[in-house]
Amino acid sequence: MSEEQTTPKLYEPPEEFASNANVSDPAVYEEAERDYKSFWAERARELHWFREWDEVLQWNPPEAKWFVGGKTNVAYNCLDYQIEQGRGDKVALVWEGDEPSDGTTYTYSELLAEVEKFANVLKSLGAEKGKPVSIYLPMIPELPVAMLACARIGAPHSIVFGAFSASALRDRINDCEATILVTADAAPRGGRKTPLKQNADEALEDAPSIENVVVVRRTGDDVPMQDGRDRYYDELMADAEESCPAEEMDSEDLLFILYSSGSTGKPKGIVHTTGGYLTQVNATTKWTMDLKDEDVYWCTADIGWITGHSYLVYGPLSAGGTSVQFEGTPAYPASDRWWDVIEKHKVTILYTAPTAIRSFMKGGTEDLEKHDLSSLRLLGTVGEPINPRAWEWYHENVGGGRCPIVDTWWQTETGGHMITPLPGITPTKPGSATRPFPGIEAGLFDEEGNEIEGEGSGNLVIKKPWPGMLRTLYKDPERYRETYWEKYGDVYFVGDGARRDEDGYYWITGRIDDVMNVSGHRISTAEVESALVGHPAVAESAVIGRADEDKGQAIVAYVILEGDREGSDELIQELNGQVRKVIGAHARPQEIIFTPDLPKTRSGKIMRRILRGVAEGQQDLGDTSTLADPSVVDALKESRAAN
């Protein structure tokens, strides 16, 4: 039994929330199930189309075409269409800089003006429909401006997260053969600076497709500018034409490429197209995030990740929302920065990741108590399973016990939410992403390819195409087919394991490659982690299976302790007891390593490959360049040696 199974507490949607929610009638599930194509077509009709589609879906597995023959434009939907509906003077974007004194806002009209001008700049530099533009920017307003400008003229964007290295940037530029790079002098974050232009210059030494570089002056640092190639954003904007009509895009035209962090090998260039993607992010922003005109909505993800693409920019803007973009970190200038941002902008909806919540838990509630968080009405999480204790903490301390939590399961590949509560309808269980979004059909398969009915555990699949699904991997349709559509035939292979309980609720147990096999028992790393963090001394833990001659795999647990607690033999025994109590004796770790930190990617995902390497005493740990902080590796080796 895992932590979640011992506490099957049910949280009903608060009555007041439900009665005001964008959707509150459970019949939406049955309606969508009866005819998922009509369901999605109805959602698509809430957008602006230059020409309506002839056919909702053409499905030749694994190739999907949604809203075939329809013409639309994503930037038009996010800007012009909002202004047509009277939102011209409404704040579209609230920008909060790294320094609390630094910030600004853009109304929908102001944002449109910037986007049109920058679209003209891009055109003057040779951008055109179908030709990718690479973007490597800090979390500044010029980032959504550049995205929307690309979308306006039909040039697919490929955004590379600002903390990626020069070599990661180079690989991503070369894969899509972009001719334009949009970057900045430097990226301030947490009081420090990342030298973006310097990285870009290094990347460009070996990225021959780039002909033009646009440089935003963010810090004013003196950076070398290459004649004929590099130009300043502000200078180009000063001379730019003001008006740029939106290109009428085919529903299936490419909107963007986003490289997924992938734990092994070459990153995958995930391709999203126009009409279907926008339909799904728009619908889920309104239904899952319950976004309304009065809301101030803050998604804390960086735009360099899919969560930022879908739920900081395209979802909220296409729904006419006010979206907060924060450049900084939770701990700068002080550890209460996030709560300060919420109080200052009266944020009503907060969407963040479990890893952030757990790090706040470590610091206790003092920082929260200094701030008025009463504006909040809905909380969301995404990115990894949230353990019930973190869920409860989030609910109680951030949400004041009154805000529903939407635990949204989805992927870069899915474009938008797939399994998630609807906050006005779905009773939630801490730790479960609950039910598939209306119109989405999920399922479970075993390793032999048999579908699992009713309660059970298995490999998660999606059984019908959905509008926001990836269409292919850029220039690699074969890898697309092999990765997602080969294992079980014409169902989408997710790569996550899940359990379905007696109510049909899904509990994501983590990546399938994170499932251990210990003496023939299948044990999920996430389950053991959940058990360990259920102990009051444990702040965070990461579990891996170490190759073991006897058992196949032996469980090794890395544990970060709460506050100033110290590891001891006694505590190791207690933790073993905890795992035995929650899951069973077979799941007890063979080794528990106390460590001050864990190796995480910049999107906060634990790199288990590194943990496995350290636990197995491997000398060469492979590529560690995607770690947020590569020095963690040495600290881990030390922790292990001290054990």
Q: Which residues bind ligand 6R9 (CB under 6 A)?
A: 260, 306-307, 382-385, 407-412, 433, 495-496, 508, 510-511, 603
Q: In the complex, what is the shortest distance from the CB of residue 47 to ligand 6R9, in angstroms, rounded to a whole number?
A: 22
Distance CA(184)–CA(562), nearest Å, equals 39
| Tokens 């891996």, located at residue | 544
Least Cβ distance, residue 450 to ligand 6R9 (angstroms): 22
Confirm or deny that 191 is annotated as ligand binding. yes
Q: Does 471 count as an annotated binding residue? A: no
Nearest distance in Å: CB 515, ligand 6R9:
12
Kindly state the tokens that stand for 437.
């979004």
State the number of CA atoms in the 13 A half-sphere of 390 facing the CB. 32
User: How many whole angstroms separate alpha carbon 47 and alpha carbon 186?
Assistant: 37
> Residue 2, annotated ligand binder?
no
410 vs 558, beta carbon nearer ligand 6R9: 410
E strand or H helix that includes residue 556: strand 552-561
From residue 79, give the alpha-carbon distance in Å to each of 28, 96, 245, 253, 275.
29, 21, 12, 19, 16
Task: Give whichever of 114 and 407 is closer to ligand 6R9, judged by the CB atom.
Answer: 407
Residue 326's DSSP bridge partners are 96
- Confirm whether residue 3 is marked as ligand binding: no
Residue 412 C-beta: closest distance to ligand 6R9, Å:
3
β-bridge pairing 63-68 and 451-452 = unpaired
Task: Return the H-helix or E-strand segment holding 357.
Answer: helix 354-363
Task: Choose between 39 and 311: whose C-beta lies nearer to ligand 6R9.
Answer: 311
Residue nearer to ligand 6R9 on the CB measure, 307 or 576: 307
- Residue closer to ligand 6R9 by CB (options 47, 433) is 433
Q: Is 411 annotated as a binding residue?
A: yes
DSSP 525-544: HHHHHHHHHTSTTEEEEEEE
Is 511 labelled as part of a ligand binding site? yes
**Residue located via tokens 């809301």:** 295
What is the Cα–Cα distance from 287 to 417, expressed in whole angstroms? 10
Question: Cβ 311 to ligand 6R9, closest distance in Å?
Answer: 9
What's the min distance (Å) between Cβ of 127 and ligand 6R9? 27
Residue among 149, 159, 151, 152 nearest 181 (CA): 159
Say if strands 456-462 and 492-500 run parallel, antiparallel, or are unpaired. Answer: antiparallel
The C-alpha atoms of residue 1 and residue 579 are separated, in whole angstroms, by: 9
Residue 135: phi, psi to the nearest 5?
-130, 130
The beta strand positions in 26-111, using DSSP E, are: 55-60, 63-68, 71-72, 91-96, 103-107
In the complex, what is the shortest distance from the CB of residue 195 to ligand 6R9, in angstroms, rounded to a whole number?
Answer: 26
Give the shortest CB-63-to-ligand 6R9 separation in angstroms. Answer: 21
Number of residue whose CB is nearest ligand 6R9: 412
Q: Is 189 annotated as belonging to a binding site?
A: yes
Q: In whole angstroms, how close is the CB of 384 to ligand 6R9 at the nearest point?
A: 5
Pairing assessment for the beta strands 55-60 and 442-445 based on DSSP bridges: unpaired
- Beta-carbon contacts of 546 under 8 Å, excluding residues fewer than 6 positions away, are 553, 554, 555, 556, 590, 591, 612, 615, 616
Q: 433 or 621, CB closer to ligand 6R9?
A: 433
Q: Which is nearer to ligand 6R9, 245 or 456 (CB)?
A: 456
Evaluate whether 130 touches 166 at the Cβ level (below 8 Å).
no
- Residue closer to ligand 6R9 (CB basis): 53 or 505: 505
Q: Is 608 among the annotated ligand-binding positions?
A: no
State the minimum distance, in angstroms, from the CB of residue 202 to ligand 6R9.
26
Does 496 count as an annotated binding residue? Answer: yes
Task: Establish whether 435 is an annotated binding residue.
Answer: no
Query: Please, which residue, 105 or 411, has the CB nearer to ligand 6R9?
Result: 411
Known binding residue 288? Answer is no
Nearer to ligand 6R9 among residue 55 and residue 503 (C-beta): 503
User: Structure tokens of 32?
Assistant: 């969508």
**Within 553-623, where are the H helices?**
569-582, 608-615
**522 carries a ligand binding annotation:** yes
Give the strand pairing for 212-216 and 133-136. unpaired
Rounded to an integer, what distance in angstroms lies between the CA atom of residue 377 and that of residue 404?
Answer: 7
Please identify, using beta-carbon distances, which residue of 347 and 526 lies nearer to ligand 6R9.
526
CB of 173 to ligand 6R9, least distance (A): 21
The residue to which tokens 């990740």 are assigned: 305
Contact between 161 and 147 (Cβ < 8 Å):
no
Q: Is 410 annotated as a binding residue?
A: yes
Flag whether 383 is marked binding.
Answer: yes
Binding residues: 189-192, 307, 383-385, 407-412, 496, 511, 519, 522, 533, 535, 538, 580
Binding residues for Mg(2+): 533, 535, 538
Binding residues for CoA: 189-192, 307, 519, 580
Binding residues for ATP: 383-385, 407-412, 496, 511, 522
